[in-house]
């Protein structure tokens, strides 16, 4: 008992020390901001002083001209008034006084003080831009009349050749104080929490091979229950398959997307898929990426169906809209790595823009598209607005905010101590951006090897992009992958790659808190965030490595310092990702629907391994199993 009390006292002391350290870091950050203000004021004083010197010099020049005129007048005066010698003496005295003030040598330049402004910091000014308009007409499909088209992973396609955007080291803004480490727990294990996370449904599917031998890219969503209280519909996608369940996730049916839609768009269906469910219009939104044509442009297909449509048609009845590169005035540039989010009245789509020249970072940027939900509900022509990719060049690889309400957010790194945060209100056609200071985080190369020696971070993309982002009331939570080490100015040195997370207040755009998801023995990466109606933030992410663990995926709730997994991976791939998904559950928005995968060694596949997906419903015990009475 005494030993436990000592441990408790030590833990409380550690917490106090941690809080004190965080306070000191915040104080340092405030002092830096204060010093920047003082520097700015001193710079203004310097400029005004320089202007004063120039004005004094100009007044001196005028006085010299007056002196010359007085001398001329004196000579005339002497000639015309020889009897005024006494007055001449007085004028000579004035002349001598002026000469003392103004030297007789000639100045070549009117400006003798040239103002040189101070070197600016990396923190950019705020800005805004008007969006652009576009439209797309609806089409319908039903009964899957199309023959399958076999697709294989194409490592030479433009996105796979793109070098990752590097985040430079920025000026000192604050030292990192590490948050409590997070540990993986097997689903169902006790963690001692008063209201622990438990799991309503977990379904692991190993029947999608050989399709799952390609990169995983797992997305999904869960619908609400219908008026008859029947089980929710679940959709799950990966490269290059889609699954659906009509029994609440107990069983899934796997389909080939090329059999559901005509494959005549752009260069044909290729890869990335993202799925959302929109409770306000009772629709699944399914986004599919298509490959490029010989001329270079590619496209997205945005499809909509109600849960009942999916049940009645075996997932083959859809209304869809085709969005090509030309829809966004992108010429032949490639669109890749999409994300979807849902607001009060709008659907948001984002994607990367990549220059058509191979291995080029020119014209890279992010486009955000806003689409009215009522037009999707009505299967009508969609009249959308979209952003200029050049404005969001720093946000390349990033995603749009989940559960975003009346305003959508996205962001990118100016450097490792400054984030550019973008916002776009639902009722405005103008989007804005500004810079937000954060504590310096480690931005070196990420390395974490599995037992087979493979580094699961070997694929650079999306590097440090802000891929986990959600809105929680008046805060934006942004997360990204960081390396081992410190932020370049000392502070805590993380032993492995990990996830950095900052909370930013909407309106003031000040950082509220900076924390991490990390562990002393292995790495974390690829975060995806979502917010439930209890204002908890759920997460799906990857974890493993450290030389001893195969890379896997897990889910959890931020602040518990626990992530949960069920099945273990038996293989580590050098291309983990590119994403897993966390969503607010449609059946009960106080819960979360998670979509991840495990990597299994499989000699029967050409690749020698496969990515097997899973669906999990999770949340607090008090919600899933409420107390009786």
- pLDDT tens-digit readout, 44-95: 576 666 667 666 666 666 676 676 667 666 666 666 666 666 666 666 666 6
Confirm whether 120 is domain-assigned. Answer: no
Three-class DSSP labels, 89-121: HHHHHHHHHHHHHCCCCCCCCCCCCCCCCCCCC
Give dist(CA 294, CA 512) in Å, integer: 49
Number of independent structural domains in the chain: 2
Residues 324 and 439 occupy one common structural domain: yes
Q: What is the reported pLDDT for 91?
A: 63
C-alpha to C-alpha distance for 57 and 67, rounded to whole angstroms: 15
Query: Residue 96 and residue 195: Cα distance in Å, rounded?
Result: 93
Residue 223 has pLDDT above 90, yes or no: yes
In this structure, the strands spanning 253-255 and 241-245 are: antiparallel
| Same-domain pairing of 68 and 203 | no
pLDDT at 108: 42
Burial zone of 451 (CB within 10 Å; 0-12 exposed, 13-18 middle, 19+ buried): middle
| Band of residue 120 on the pLDDT scale cut at 50, 70, 90 | very low
The answer to the question of residue 118 being in a domain is no
**Which pLDDT value is given to residue 178?**
85
Residue 107 resides in a domain:
no
**552 and 408, same structural domain?**
yes
Query: Where does residue 531 rank: exposed (0-12), middle (13-18), buried (19+ CB within 10 A)?
Result: buried
Instruction: Please tell me whether residues 368 and 271 are part of one structural domain.
Output: yes
Instruction: Please check whether residue 403 is in contact with residue 392, taking contact to mean a CB–CB distance below 8 angstroms.
Output: no
pLDDT at 212: 75
Considering the domain boundaries, does residue 163 fall inside one?
Answer: yes
Q: Is residue 106 part of a domain?
A: no
Q: How far is CA 549 from the centre of its chain?
A: 28
What is d(CA 223, CA 588) in angstroms, rounded to the nearest whole number?
9
Q: Select from 101, 121, 145 the last residue of a domain.
A: 101
Domain co-membership, 409 together with 550? yes
- The pLDDT value given to residue 313: 96
Q: Is residue 414 part of a domain?
A: yes
Q: Does the pLDDT at position 123 exceed 60?
A: no
Q: Which of 173-182, 231-240, 354-363, 370-379 has the lowest mean pLDDT?
A: 354-363
Coil, strand or helix: which one is 40? helix
β-pair type (183-186, 562-565): parallel
- Same domain assignment for residues 237 and 134: yes
In a domain, 117, yes or no: no
Task: Say whether both 152 and 227 belong to one domain.
Answer: yes
Looking at residue 535, which CATH number applies to its domain? 2.130.10.10
Of 101, 120, 139, the residue that ends a domain is 101
Taking a C-beta distance cutoff of 8 angstroms, is the pair 71, 104 a contact? no
**Strands, sheet with 382-386, edge to edge from the N-terminal-most edge strand:** 132-136, 382-386, 365-372, 346-354, 334-342
The reply to whether 112 falls in a domain is no
pTM for this entry = 0.81
Per-residue pLDDT at 155 exceeds 70: no
184 and 46 fall within a common domain: no
What CA–CA distance (Å, rounded) separates 399 from 185?
28
If asked whether residues 556 and 426 sit together in one domain, one would say yes
| Domain membership of residue 20 as a residue range | 2-101
Asked if residues 450 and 549 have their Cβ atoms less than 8 Å apart, the reply is yes
pLDDT in tens, 445-462: 999 999 999 999 998 889
Name the burial class of residue 364, with classes exposed (0-12), middle (13-18) and buried (19+) by CB atoms within 10 angstroms of its CB: buried
Determine the pLDDT at residue 206: 83
Rounded to an integer, the average pLDDT of 312-335 is 93
Residues 6+ apart with CB under 8 A from 589: 279, 532, 533
Q: Give the pairing of strands 382-386 and 365-372.
A: antiparallel
Segment 559-589, tens digit of pLDDT = 999 999 999 999 999 988 899 999 999 999 9
Question: In sequence order, what are the residues at sequence separation of 6 or more whose Cβ sits closer than 8 angstroms to the Cβ of residue 361?
Answer: 162, 163, 165, 355
Helix (H, G, I), strand (E, B) or coil at 507: coil
> Would you state the pLDDT for residue 81?
64
Residue after which a domain boundary falls, among 83, 101, 119: 101
Do 92 and 203 belong to one domain? no
Q: Is the four-CA dihedral 239, 580, 492, 506 of positive or negative sign?
A: positive
Of 431, 518, 433, 535, whose CA–CA distance to 483 is shortest?
Answer: 518
Burial class of 294 by CB neighbour count within 10 A (0 to 12, 13 to 18, 19+): exposed
| Same domain, residue pair 134 and 27 | no
* Predicted pLDDT at 510: 96
- Band the pLDDT of 121: cuts 50, 70, 90: very low
Do both 204 and 78 map to the same domain? no
Above 70 in pLDDT, residue 8?
no
């Amino acid at each position: 008992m005494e030993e436990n009390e000592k441990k408790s006292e030590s833990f409380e002391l550690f917490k106090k020390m941690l809080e004190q350290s965080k306070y000191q870091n915040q104080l340092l950050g405030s002092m830096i901001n204060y010093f920047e203000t003082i520097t700015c004021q001193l710079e203004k004083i310097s400029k005004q002083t320089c202007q004063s010197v120039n004005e004094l010099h100009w007044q001196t020049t005028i006085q010299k001209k007056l002196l010359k005129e007085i001398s001329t007048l004196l000579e005339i005066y002497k000639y015309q008034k020889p009897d005024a010698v006494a007055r001449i003496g007085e004028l000579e005295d004035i002349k001598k006084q002026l000469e003392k003030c103004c030297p007789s040598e000639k100045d070549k330049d009117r400006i003798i003080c040239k103002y040189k402004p101070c070197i600016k910091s990396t923190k950019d000014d705020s800005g805004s831009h008007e969006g652009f308009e576009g439209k797309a007409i609806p089409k319908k499909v039903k009964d899957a009349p199309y023959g399958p088209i076999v697709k294989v992973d194409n490592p030479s396609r433009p996105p796979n050749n793109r070098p990752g955007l590097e985040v430079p080291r920025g000026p000192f803004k604050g030292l990192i104080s590490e948050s409590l480490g997070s540990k993986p727990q097997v689903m169902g294990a006790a963690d001692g929490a008063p209201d622990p996370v438990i799991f309503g449904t977990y379904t692991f599917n190993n029947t999608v091979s050989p399709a799952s031998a390609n990169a995983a890219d797992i997305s999904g969503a869960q619908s609400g229950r219908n008026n008859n209280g029947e089980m929710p519909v679940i959709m799950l996608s990966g490269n290059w398959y889609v699954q659906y369940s009509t029994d609440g996730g107990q069983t899934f049916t796997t389909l080939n997307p090329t059999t559901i839609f005509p494959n005549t768009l752009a260069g044909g269906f290729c890869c990335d898929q993202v799925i959302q469910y929109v409770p306000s219009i009772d629709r699944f939104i399914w986004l599919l990426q298509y490959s490029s044509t010989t001329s270079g442009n590619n496209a997205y297909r945005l499809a909509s169906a109600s849960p009942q449509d999916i049940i009645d048609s075996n997932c083959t009845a859809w209304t869809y809209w085709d969005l090509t590169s030309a829809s966004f005035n992108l010429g032949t540039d490639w669109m890749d790595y999409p994300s979807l989010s849902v607001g009060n009245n709008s659907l948001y789509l984002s994607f990367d823009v990549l220059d058509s020249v191979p291995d080029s970072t020119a014209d890279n940027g992010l486009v955000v598209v806003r689409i009215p939900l009522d037009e999707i509900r009505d299967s009508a022509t969609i009249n959308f607005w979209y952003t200029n990719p050049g404005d969001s060049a720093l946000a390349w690889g990033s995603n749009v905010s989940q559960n975003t309400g009346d305003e959508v957010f996205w962001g990118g790194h100016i450097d490792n101590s400054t984030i550019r945060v973008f916002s776009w209100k639902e009722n405005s056609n103008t989007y804005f951006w500004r810079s937000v200071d954060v504590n310096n985080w480690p931005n070196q190369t990420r390395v974490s090897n599995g037992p087979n020696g493979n580094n699961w971070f070997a694929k650079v993309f999306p590097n440090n992009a802000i891929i986990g982002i959600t809105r929680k009331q008046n805060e934006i939570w942004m997360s990204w992958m960081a390396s081992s080490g410190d932020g370049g100015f000392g502070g805590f040195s993380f032993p492995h790659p990990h996830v950095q997370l900052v909370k930013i207040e909407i309106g003031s755009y000040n950082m509220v808190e900076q924390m991490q998801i990390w562990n002393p023995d292995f790495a974390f990466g690829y975060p995806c965030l979502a917010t439930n109606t209890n204002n908890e933030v759920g997460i799906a992410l990857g974890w493993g490595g450290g030389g001893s663990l195969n890379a896997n995926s897990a889910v959890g709730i931020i602040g518990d310092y626990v992530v949960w997994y069920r099945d273990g991976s038996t293989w580590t791939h050098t291309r983990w990702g590119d994403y897993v998904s966390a969503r607010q559950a449609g059946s009960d928005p106080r819960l979360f629907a998670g979509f991840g995968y495990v990597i299994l060694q499989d000699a029967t596949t050409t690749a020698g391994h496969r990515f097997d997906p899973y669906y999990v419903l999770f949340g607090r015990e008090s919600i899933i199993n409420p107390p009786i009475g």
